[in-house]
Structure 1
């Protein structure tokens, strides 16, 4: 019995030592590439504002639709095991981060630990922000502390056991996370390193575009090969010429990132639309070009359910702008009727769009995806974003149409403009409404 007790104690000691070793923090400050929009000699608040926008902090920490105060938190994130809410990151001393020290703020972004020592969930992308330099992190903090404070208590997470045990995140970190700063690749040009820092650390592209494993950790073997987020499909952005963006021109990639639209490729909506509106459109042209350079180098991966794009769908090509092709109603009578009543005036029957190029449908990935996730969400939620001087708007039809009508319209749009047999069902639409 005594020997067994000694063995158990030894195992506990070894386990504790291994836990501490695997969850140790990298305390190095790091050295970030110099971005065009955040030069080293700029005032700290100027740098902080640019970096905060590049990191897209406002999208996750502000309830959309004018229903929340900037950076006051409260945005729900629905996960398979419950819902968590973003926190108030204004400098309010009681409900925000106004009493956080520099070291506490850095530790949150580098290691996922709050000021009270409790661990954060990786829905807050410290798994990417860990690569930020200490100087950039503190510039972000300085900018946030310069903004108006908002007194708004944080909403507690609603998670089932054992996911509601924050201390257990230490074991998750030990298995799937490493605290480390960005290290420039000396074999790569400066522009590539800038793009890598923007994509992996600040822009945290992988958090949306990389699939996750059963433990909700990023599947590094399929980096940027596409994933699902809040009911939307975050597309493959690897260099694969068919499944990814390898066939896109540099101009198309830059346009999509900075404006949310690329002719013949598609228009952003949902979480990507938010990223364009709040973050990407504010990047300097040189930094967007650096991001494009990095994306060009991402290894090609097909990912799950690659999309075969038909840029010359016969039903759309044989239609005029004002009238559908003769055979488009076959099997899609309800969808055609709905499209004629509410959609054709903007999108046109040939899918080229009328008032704005953002309404173009022909050749886009959304209408070529038989699962129809993004087409369905676009119908349900619409689009409402500001890019430069443009107000990109499409009304939401979620309240106007039944699940059966949304499914019929989605399948018709995919048949008309992607030459695809859509697989959207009323049951799928009902599920998409809950995302």
Structure 2
């Protein structure tokens, strides 16, 4: 199938920031033989440490902290097709944060998508995934958030277009797209597999980017993990279900784990939004949890077909001209790092030959990398990553289209030619 336009192919993602990732407070009591007893400082410290780890796994800091701002004070703008949303203050401030929230309030937000006052939260807050988080883990995250420094800053109101600013409309959305319930382990699978599924489907909320979203902002369940364009960010989250894209069925588990933990592996490197996920979240996770996630991801059912093309097409004749022009541009600008044969020098310089992310139907990501460059995330295991220089100022739209066409169609790659018009459309796309 082919889509008529870039947006016609991509489903609308409500990356709207929702009302909160509330904070927890254990109340300082435990139950012993049915009687409330005070938690020891050691117990509370252990709970807070566990909560900090889980909050990292959920990547809470990425949405609730403005670059250069106070941690968890909110205010990060989230542009969506429906307007701009702003993430809330989730520090334990009594006036503007969640200082007066209880454990039950917090769990209700995580599990049911309702705020302390019972109002419905927008699905940009990933409660559709967080509903799978256990009560024990929710309480631990709550304890951690209660331990951070309060910030007396009000949350900025959302700026949504009518009728999307009417929260009561969410009742219909929830009926169609939200199923409440904690994760239930699959008894036919290993403990490691179930742990990976819990993290990927729950706290990690990976499906929010890697699953297509329809025009109502709801996930297309039949296309789970099949990839899609992230609107207004203009990055393509590749399919994890097709080996014609980033399907992981033929990857070694170690390569998947390396990519998650460090941002680089012998199969490639992460850039764009995924680099932020690795930097803020995944690099801090234990090797055991990373391996569990890799184990689960490797078993996602693979499909032979790739998603629909997402770019403008060129004529066969013009595509041949671009290919020839791109060969010289590659030799002059790219071969030093990625080699004449496209095999690169992994993991520092990823291979382009037989690289599924290069030849998948959507050419959005390779075009953006040539235009804007970038770095994999800096992680403990890879503190000084090698970067890709930007060529937006050095190459014209046709030259960028030519070199991307060349790398998509050379060394046995089976990609198609791309249009200079698509390069022009992406040249002005936001970098974040």
The question of a shared fold, defined as TM-score above 0.5 by the shorter chain, is answered with yes
Q: Cα 1:102–1:41, aligned 2, differ >3 Å: closer, same or farther?
A: closer
Specify every segment of 5 or more residues in structure 2 that has no aligned partner in the other structure, as ranges.
Answer: 1-42, 311-318
**8 Å Cα contact 1:410/1:424 also seen in 2:** no
Give me the TM-score of the superposition, normalised by structure 1: 0.75
DSSP 3-state at the match of 1:331: helix
Alignment of 1:89 onto 2:90: yes
Q: How far apart are residue 155 of structure 1 and its match?
A: 3.1
- Count of matched residue pairs: 372
Q: How far apart are residue 397 of structure 1 and its match?
A: 4.5
**8 Å Cα contact 2:85/2:160 also seen in 1:** yes
CA distance in 1, matches of 2:212, 2:196: 21
Q: How far apart are residue 101 of structure 1 and its match?
A: 2.4
| Corresponding position of 1:245 | 248
**Where does 1:27-426 land on structure 2 (aligned, <5 Å)?**
43-63=46-66, 66-229=67-230, 230-238=233-241, 240-242=242-244, 244-263=247-266, 265-301=267-303, 302-305=305-308, 331=322, 335=326, 339=330, 342-353=333-344, 357-384=348-375, 385-388=377-380, 389-392=382-385, 393-398=387-392, 403-416=397-410, 418=413, 420-426=415-421
**8 Å Cα contact 1:266/1:363 also seen in 2:** no
Specify every segment of 5 or more residues in structure 1 that has no aligned partner in the other structure, as ranges.
Answer: 1-39, 308-327
Give me the TM-score of the superposition, normalised by structure 2: 0.76
**8 Å Cα contact 1:406/1:429 also seen in 2:** no
Q: How far apart are residue 132 of structure 1 and its match?
A: 0.6
Identify the structure with bigger relative contact order (alpha carbons < 8 Å, sequence gap 6+).
2
CA distance in 1, matches of 2:152, 2:331: 48
CA distance in 2, matches of 1:224, 1:276: 18
Pick which of 161-170 and 288-297 moved more. Answer: 288-297
CA distance in 2, matches of 1:340, 1:372: 20
CA distance in 2, matches of 1:142, 1:54: 15
Q: Output one character per residue of 1:56-95: Cα deviation in whole Å (capped at 9) or x when no partner.
A: 11222234xx444433333333332223232232333333
CA distance in 2, matches of 1:397, 1:97: 45
CA distance in 2, matches of 1:362, 1:343: 13
CA distance in 2, matches of 1:403, 1:157: 36
Q: Output one character per residue of 1:265-301: Cα deviation in whole Å (capped at 9) or x when no partner.
A: 3211111111222222222222122222222332333
Q: Output one character per residue of 1:221-257: Cα deviation in whole Å (capped at 9) or x when no partner.
A: 121111222322212223x555521111222222222
CA distance in 1, matches of 2:137, 2:407: 45
DSSP 3-state at the match of 2:322: coil
